[in-house]
A and B are shown apart, each in its own frame.
Chain A
Amino acid sequence: MAKWGMVIDLDKCTGCQACTTACSMENNTLPGETWQDVLYYNAGENPSGQMKWLPRPCMQCENPSCVHVCPTRATYKDPDAGGIVFVDWNKCIGCKYCMIACPYGVRFYADEKPLIEPDIRDVFPGENGQLWSPPYQNPEEDWRRGIGIQPAGVVSKCTFCYHKVRHAPEGVADLDEDNPEVKEYVPACVRTCAPKARYFGDLDNPESQVNQLIGDKHGVRLKDHTGNKPQVYYLGAGAGIPAFTPADRENDA
C-alpha cells in the first residue's frame, strides 16, 4: 500500500487561497472550518521585513499525537489507506483532546459560534443527523473516515480527499493533475493549485516525484521538533515560521 504524501513548494505558492476554496467546496466545510487554509504573517523588520504565507493542510503525521491521545480510537491512522489520519464520527465523543494535542491546529469542532453571519447552518438546517445540509454535497459520505458533512459534537479534519484518492490505481507513484489518467483522483487542493505548487504521491515509492522533490530540493517538515513526522513536506524559503509575537506589541520594541 502507498504512503500518501504531499509536497508544497513555497517558492511557487502565490498565497491565492484557491486550495482553501477548493477544499471547502469539495468537503462542504463551514466558514472557519478550514481543513486547508493559508496563513499570512510578517517576519523580520524593515528594511529586511518580509511578507510570508504558508498553506496548511493536515500533516497526516507518521507519529500523530492526536491519535495517541484519543480515548476512543475515533481518530486513527489507517495504514491501508496510505497512512491517512481519519476521525470515525461514530466513535468521536467530542472531548477535543486531539485538538489540544495537534501541534498544527488543523482539527475542527464545528459545533462552535459561526465565524460569519448569517450562520450557514441556519440557512441549510441539518437533516439525517448532519450538522447542516447544503443542497450540493459530496455523494461519497463515509462517517467512519470523517468524510462528508459531520454530525454535531464531533471533530473534523482534512482527509487528503480520501474519497478521491482511494480510487487511484494500485501502485501509482504520483497523483498528478496533469496526468489525464489519474487527475480525477487528485486531492482538491492539489488539483486546483494554479501555480502548481503542490504535489501528491507515494512516499514509499522511490520513483515518485514527491520523493525526488524532497530529496533534490531539501524538503522540510513543519515544526519537526514535535516529533510528529508529517507526511507533508515544504520546499523553498518560508517553512520556518517566526516565533509568535502579538501584533499589537510588534512595534513596542
Chain B
Amino acid sequence: MSTSMKGMKPTTHDNALQGPVGWGLLVIAAVVLLASLGYVLAQLMANGHTAFNTSSVLPWGQPIATYVYFALASSGLGLVASLPLVFGFKAYYPLAKRCIFLAFALLISGMGVLALELGHPFRMLWVIPTNLQVQSAMFWMGVFYSLDLLFLLWKFGKLQGGHWDSKTARQVGIASFIGVLLASGNLALIFGMMSMRPFWFDALLPVYFYATGITSGVAVLILLTYLAYGFRRERMPEALQRLMSGALPRLFAALVGATLLFIVVRAITGLYSNNPEVNLVWSEYLLESGLYLTTLVVGLLLPFVLLLGGLRNRPGIQVLTALLVSLAMFAERFYFVVGGQVIPLFKGTWEPNLIAYTPSATEWALTLVGVSLCLVLFLLGEKFLNLGDMPPQIAQAPASASAGTA
C-alpha cells in the first residue's frame, strides 16, 4: 500500500478518519449498532415477529425496503467501480477502492437486516442449497448476491495488493460487473415478475433498479467520502479533488435527473391506468402522502435543481444534495415495497380501505442496525485499509491527463 502511494503529495494522507475523530465516530457507531441490535434481538426473542407491524395482508415492510435499499446502493457502487476498473474511465480511479469496500459494507448490512426479517435465517443456509429451486427468483438472488459478495472481496483483495491493472484484476473486475448486473437485475425481477401485483409488474424494472441503485450508491459515496476528509475538499488528494469538482457531480446530477424521470413516467402510467391496483397506489397512497411528496420535492427535485448549475461544484452543496438524495432514495424503496401491497387483493369487509402500514419501533431499530453496521465497517475500512488509495500514475498525473474522461 505504502509503495503505491510513494511520491504522492502529503495532502493525500489527510484522512480525517484515521485519527482520533475516526476512533470517536467508530465508538459512536459501534454503540448505536450494539444498542439497536440488542433491542431488535430482545424484541424478536420476546415477541417474535409480532414486534413488526407487517401482517398477512402486507407481509413485506420496512425491513425488506431497507434490504432493497442497501443491496441496490451496493450494486450501484459496484457499477460505479467498474467505470475505471472495467471500462477505463480513469477519472474515477480515486474512488474505485472506496466504492468497492463500501459496496461490500452495504451488502453485508443489507444481508444482516434481511436475516433478521426472515422467520428462519439459519435454516435458509442449508435448505436453499439443498433444494435447488431454480424456478424461484429468490433462489437466484441468493446465488447472485453471494457471487457478488465473493467478487467484491476478491476485487478488493486485488486492489489492496496494489494490483490495479493486472490481467487477473481486470478479469475479476469483469466478473464482478456481471455479478452486480445479475444480482440487482434479479432483485428487480423478484418484484417485476409478480403479475398479480401490478404496481411492480414490469419487465424493465431491472433498468429502474440499476439507475436508481447507482443514484443511491453515489449519494452515499459522496457523503462518506466527504466524511473521510473531514468535509474539506482541500484535504483530498488532487486527483480526487478533480473528480469531485468535475465528472462526479455531473454524473450525480444526471443520475438524480434520471431517477426523477423514472418516477414521473411510472406515476403518469399509474395515474393513466384504470387498473385500481396501479392507479389507486398513486392517487390514493403515494400522491396523498405528504411525506412521499416531500421526499420527491426536497429529496430529489431540489437536489437536481441545485446540481444543475455551477453550484454543484461547491462542497457544501455536494454534501447537502448527497444527504438529501440518500434519504429520499430510502423513502423511494419504502414506498416502492409497501406500495405494491397496499391495495387489498379483494374488495371486501375485512379490508374496506387501503391497507395501512407504519413501521414499528423494532422495524426502525432494524433499519438503524443496517445503517450503523455499514458505518462501523466503513470506518474500520477507512482506518485500516487505506480506502483512498489509487494507482500511482493517477495520483501523480497532471490535471489535464484525466480530465474529460467522464
Would A69 and B136 be within 8 Å (CB), given that A112-B56, A152-B119 are in contact?
yes
Complex contact A248–B353 (CB within 8 A): yes
B53 at the interface (CB under 8 A from A): yes
Would A243 and B194 be within 8 Å (CB), given that A109-B49, A113-B50 are in contact?
no
Complex contact B136–A71 (CB within 8 A): yes
- Would you call the interface of chain A mostly helix, strand, loop, or mixed? loop
On chain B, the residues within 8 Å of A241 by CB distance are 346-347
Name the distance in Å between B78's Cβ and chain A's nearest Cβ.
23
Among residues 61 to 78 in chain A, which have CB atoms less than 8 Å away from a CB atom of chain B? Answer: 65, 68-74
Name the distance in Å between A127's Cβ and chain B's nearest Cβ.
15
B344 at the interface (CB under 8 A from A): yes
Complex contact B56–A32 (CB within 8 A): yes
Complex contact A245–B276 (CB within 8 A): yes
Would A92 and B119 be within 8 Å (CB), given that A71-B133, A114-B50 are in contact?
yes
Complex contact B196–A65 (CB within 8 A): yes
Complex contact B49–A153 (CB within 8 A): yes
Complex contact A96–B136 (CB within 8 A): no
On chain A, the residues within 8 Å of B11 by CB distance are none
B393 at the interface (CB under 8 A from A): no
Complex contact B60–A96 (CB within 8 A): yes
How far is A33 from B56 in the complex, measured between Cα atoms in Å? Answer: 8
B38 at the interface (CB under 8 A from A): no
A246 at the interface (CB under 8 A from B): yes
Least CB separation from A72: chain B residue: B127
On chain B, the residues within 8 Å of A248 by CB distance are 352-353
Complex contact A107–B349 (CB within 8 A): no
A83 at the interface (CB under 8 A from B): no
A124 at the interface (CB under 8 A from B): no
Please give the number of chain B residues whose Cβ is less than 8 angstroms from any Cβ of chain A in the complex.
Answer: 50
A1 at the interface (CB under 8 A from B): no
On chain B, the residues within 8 Å of A144 by CB distance are none
Please give the number of chain A residues whose Cβ is less than 8 angstroms from any Cβ of chain B in the complex.
Answer: 52
Would A242 and B347 be within 8 Å (CB), given that A93-B118, A99-B56, A153-B120 are in contact?
yes
On chain B, the residues within 8 Å of A141 by CB distance are none
Complex contact B195–A226 (CB within 8 A): yes
Complex contact A111–B119 (CB within 8 A): yes
On chain A, the residues within 8 Å of B56 by CB distance are 32-33, 99, 105, 107-110, 112
How far is A94 from B59 in the complex, measured between Cα atoms in Å? Answer: 10
Complex contact A74–B127 (CB within 8 A): yes
Interface residues in chain A, defined as those with a beta carbon under 8 Å from any beta carbon in chain B: 32-33, 37, 39-41, 54, 56, 65, 68-74, 91-97, 99-105, 107-114, 152-154, 226-227, 241-249
- 22 pairs of residues in contact across A and B, judged by CB atoms under 8 Å: A32-B56, A68-B135, A72-B131, A72-B133, A92-B119, A92-B120, A93-B118, A94-B49, A96-B119, A100-B194, A100-B341, A101-B194, A105-B344, A109-B119, A110-B56, A153-B48, A154-B119, A227-B195, A241-B347, A243-B276, A246-B280, A247-B353
